[in-house]
Amino acid sequence: MAHVIEIQHLQKQFGKFTALKDINLQLNEGEVLGFIGPNGAGKSTTIRTILGLIKPTAGQVQVFGQDAWQNAVTIHQQLAYVPGDVYLWPNLTGGQTIDLLLRMAKRTHNQRTDQLIQAFGLDVRKKNRTYSKGNRQKVALIAALAADVPLYIFDEPTSGLDPLNEMVFQQQVAQLKAQGRSILLSSHILSEVEKMGDQIAIIRQGEIIEAGSLAEMQHLTRNQVTVTTAKPMLELTQQAHVHQVHFKNQTKTSAEFLVADTAMNTVLSYLTQQQIQTLRTTPPTLEALFLRYYDTNQIKAGV
Amino acid sequence: MRQLLQSSLVLRANLRRDWIKILIWIIVLSGLFITVAAKFKTLYGTTAQIETIARTLRAPAMIALFGPVPKGGTLTTATIFATEMLIFWSLFLIICNLSLAINASRTQESAGLTELILGGYPVGRLAPLNAAALELTIVDGSFALITGLGTTLAAMPGSDLEGNWLFALTLAAVGWAFGMITLVFAQLVVDSHTANIYGYAFLGLAYVIRMLTDVQNSDWTWLSPLGWIEKSAIYTQNHWLPLGLLIVLGGGALILAFCLNAHRDSGTGILPEHAGHQRSRFLRGPLTLLLWQQRTTSLFWLLGLCLLGVSYGSIFDTLGQIVNQSPVVQQVLGTTGMHHLAHLQLLHFMNLLGVIFTVLASIAGTFCLNHLYTDERKGYLQLVHTRTITRARLYWVYLGFALVLTASLIFVALMGTMLAANQVLTQPLAFHYFAKVWLAMLPISWGFLAIAAVAIGWLLLGRQLIWFILGGSFVITYFGRLLNLPHWALNLSPFHWFDQIPLHTINISRSMAVLSFGLVVIVLGLIGYRHRDLQD
């Protein structure tokens, strides 16, 4: 499978400050890559090097097999981008801005543009100055989604959108994905990436700490189980692959714990013996994965 | 007053933000003023020197630029100083107040800072405006204090204590009054850009009225607040009435600003904003975008410079009058000789007009070019840079527009001068004189823009340097001879290299040298712009 974006050992320094230490990242054709990390981890800086807005200090950034810095303009012909913080010329209206952005990418205002304006419910007659963050984001999203290109890059696209518009966005991304487009989606909202992403890369302090498919990643984590039983679960802690047991009462009939997928069967048969009354298992969230990573590292670091 | 609650807190925050700017303004404004005052003794110490300069200053052209020379009584070093400095320094103080006023009011509100402090903290609704007014009062007060003390120490012959303080206070008051008026404009419109335009338009109007009335009939100068200061008769009669009037004007403006502010929502202006266009046919790329963004400002500049040209041109008949009209001189020169002398005088004045127009046009061009940087800083260009538009194209679009705008502004001003002048002159001035001034001034203005461009290209810290270069060149040429600057100092200003235009032919090699300098610097700027990281 061809790599739409391929980053190898990317480093970026601003003066003495190292923003990116060592970034390795691939976006495969037709896939959605969820790019997650906390604020200030280097997500936007990575995206800005992909777009050729800033020059790598070291390493390779290739988009469609071309160097991102050298061939920025050629690459831009085939991608659409929505920045994390959208700033628009205050004295233009939303409608004027959308038309301008489309034309600057040699595209035209067509039926799809109007559909998108309607779907997002944007009042295009208002001046950008009067728009909220979410509305400014909509302007950029509409201009980007109206483009017919193989690659879309969204930098925290829904941070200002309400849940309804967020859903509209997710539907649009699903459509693009169905059409075989490649999408880079950065976010610190993990559930968003989880819903849409095929591949996940986690960045922290300028380094990719984990990358892989969602299936691979989930393998690394554990289900959270909340259970109440009739008989006390005295032997629960001795069960294989059960972690972080926390009893909620003295009689040990109510508990919360983590268990790996592979051990679910044996643990469940034990719980059945104790006569299950209520049982809830939560699939692993990226939140848990993320927290787990931080926990282990902080423990290692002695924090 | 709960509305004014926490004004001092806002003021302190503002001062912490602006103190460097304020310090530079005060040092430059007071420092230069005192330096000139101290040097004046050596320039115009003797009666003969005073007589010579007084004759120059009495020419209508000079009255148009500097205001009238006091009539009656003996002229002293101090009265000459007052005549030369009054209008000019008032302009500086007004520009200082204007920029600080907009910055402390509308700019902060557009940036959302006002909303943050009003919405989230126990700060009175009128506190930000109050803090802005207090900031200007502190700046002008400090200027008056330092300048009053400084001129007293300089002890010019003919100066008196009352005059020194009246001078310092009048300058501060005129700056302050215009600052307060600017605060009113800041309430009317929703963005700092338009507020700026209103402020400068008002200043331009006040200046032109003063100039026209001074030349025609100085009784009418009372029409312009900028003319009031001339009525102070500093060092001769020392009238305090104009000072009082200015304070009343500024105070009235401030009260009006408070009323307007109290009756509007945060983040809006008094003047209504209409719903805009749903679609755009016109906007299709960086050039059309820039044209669209700059259309009002550019028209304002074009109209303003044309009017300025017309107003200068309309006094050309008076300017051409020979001051020394003694019968002996007339007899020696004859009528044609007199005409020739008048003609020479006008051509010389045209050179000075060219300098004024070029400086103003270069300011306009630099403002426009600076959008390449500020639009990047504000994040507007991140959506342009990620389209199929090369950085080189963006650079050339902004720079090209600035170059064309500057060239057009100088041309329009000169044409305005020519049209009006030839209406009033019995012997019209030929077009080629004006064309020559234009051709001589073009490379200089482009050179200025080139310096501004290279600073943006390489993100140089000296982005503000262009203002010092522009201001310095202007002061050297405008004031150079009055201050008897040595030859080398005069030569620092590029205007001085062409000071014989349109009387003589343009030194092509000099023009070429300036142009090549500009081109090299522009290309350097382009290289920088193409290779640097874009700002977030």
Q: Which domains does chain A have, with CATH numbers?
A: 3-217 (3.40.50.300), 222-283 (3.30.70.1150)
Residues of B218-255 as b/e, b for ≥16 C-beta within 10 angstroms? Answer: beebbebbbbbbbbbbbbbebeeebbebbeebbeebbe
Whether A302 shows a pLDDT value over 50: the answer reads no
Is B386 within 8 Å of A76 when comparing Cβ atoms? yes
Whether B321 shows a pLDDT value over 80: the answer reads no
Average pLDDT taken over every residue of chain B: 89
B249: phi then psi, degrees, rounded to nearest 5:
-60, -50
- The whole-angstrom distance between B404's CA and the closest CA on chain A is 23
Closest residue by Cα to residue B363 from B317, B413, B409: B409
Q: What is the DSSP string of B296-360?
A: HHHHHHHHHHHHHHHHHHTTHHHHTS-S---HHHHHHHHHHHHHHHHHHHHHHHHHHHHHHHHHH
Instruction: Give the pLDDT mean for A121-143.
Output: 92
Is B279 within 8 Å of A129 when comparing Cβ atoms? no
Tell me, what's the pLDDT at B436? 95
How many whole angstroms separate alpha carbon B525 and alpha carbon B519?
10
Q: Return the DSSP state at A156.
A: S
Q: For residue A124, what is the nearest residue in chain B, using CA coordinates?
A: B278
Closest residue by Cα to residue A17 from A297, A206, A203: A206
Is A90 within 8 Å of B389 when comparing Cβ atoms? no
- The whole-angstrom distance between B205's CA and the closest CA on chain A is 27
Across the interface, of B276, B388, B533, the residue whose CB is closest to A96 is B276
Closest residue by Cα to residue B190 from A14, A292, A4, A130: A130
Residues of A in contact with B386 (CB under 8 A): 51, 53, 76, 79, 81
How many whole angstroms separate alpha carbon A228 and alpha carbon A248?
9
Domain ranges of chain B: 1-270, 284-536
- The whole-angstrom distance between B389's CA and the closest CA on chain A is 6
Q: What's the full length of chain A, in residues?
A: 303
Q: How confident is the model at residue A303 (pLDDT cuts 50, 70, 90)?
A: very low
Q: What is the ipTM of this complex?
A: 0.77
Whether A299 shows a pLDDT value over 80: the answer reads no
Q: For residue B111, what is the nearest residue in chain A, using CA coordinates?
A: A129
Q: What is the pTM of this model?
A: 0.80
Q: What's the full length of chain B, in residues?
A: 536
Q: Which residue has the higher pLDDT, B535 or A46?
A: A46
Say whether B385 sits in a helix, a strand or coil. Answer: helix
- The whole-angstrom distance between B286's CA and the closest CA on chain A is 8
Q: Which has the minimum average pLDDT: A186-195, A294-303, B298-307? A: A294-303
Across the interface, of B277, B289, B386, the residue whose CB is closest to A93 is B277
Angle at which helix B127-154 crosses helix B7-43, to 10 degrees, equals 20
| Token pair for B195 | 């507020």
Which of A11, A79, A86, A99 to substitute to test the interface with B, most B CBs within 10 Å? Answer: A99
Across the interface, of A79, A125, A140, the residue whose CB is closest to B276 is A125
Q: For residue A74, what is the nearest residue in chain B, using CA coordinates?
A: B388
Is A54 within 8 Å of B533 when comparing Cβ atoms? yes
Across the interface, of B190, B385, B534, the residue whose CB is closest to A129 is B190
Query: A91-95, B319-323, B422-426 — which one is most confidently predicted on average?
Result: A91-95
Is A90 within 8 Å of B191 when comparing Cβ atoms? yes
Tell me, what's the pLDDT at A220? 62
CB B188 within 8 A of CB B269: yes
Q: What is the DSSP string of B242-303?
A: HHHHHHHHHHHHHHHHHHHHHTS-TT--SS------SS-SS--SHHHHHHHHHHHHHHHHHH
**pLDDT, tens only, B216-265:** 888 888 999 999 999 999 999 999 999 999 999 999 999 999 999 988 88
- The whole-angstrom distance between A259's CA and the closest CA on chain B is 44
Helices (H), B378-464: 382-385, 391-424, 431-457
Across the interface, of B278, B289, B383, the residue whose CB is closest to A125 is B278
